[in-house]
Amino acid sequence: MTHPDDPLAPARGLGVDGLLELLERLDGVEEAAVVRSALAAGVPRVVVVDELQREVERRLMRLYPHLE
């Protein structure tokens, strides 16, 4: 169970599609396009997911700077 004040909760348990959707909602439309291009170019999915997760978490933390 996640803590109600956990700013990263929206990103937990999401796959690539969910993370991309969340990134787009967090004003990351261009970044999401880069991720899709990387996947299409054959960048290993594990690398892409790792970077995508970090970017979404970074953006979520910016929404809650008092929790850092």
Task: Tell me the pLDDT tens digit for each residue of 5-15.
Answer: 788 888 888 89
Q: In this structure, are residues 26 and 39 in contact, taking their beta carbons and an 8 Å threshold? A: no
Whether this model's pTM surpasses 0.75: yes
* Residue 1: per-residue pLDDT: 46
State the Cα–Cα distance between residues 14 and 58, nearest whole angstrom: 15
In a domain, 14, yes or no: yes
Q: What is the mean pLDDT of residues 59-63?
A: 90
Q: Does 42 map to a domain?
A: yes
* Residue 53 identity (one-letter amino acid): Q
Nearest-angstrom CA–CA distance, 11 and 59: 11
On the CB side of 27, how many CA atoms lie within 13 Å of its CA? 5
- Give the count of domains, the chain: 1
Boundaries of domain holding 32: 9-67
Mean pLDDT of 8-25: 91
Q: What is the rounded average pLDDT of the residues 37-52?
A: 94
Structural domain contains residue 50: yes
Collapsed DSSP state (helix, strand, coil) of residue 64: coil
| Type of residue found at 7 | P
pLDDT of amino acid 31: 95
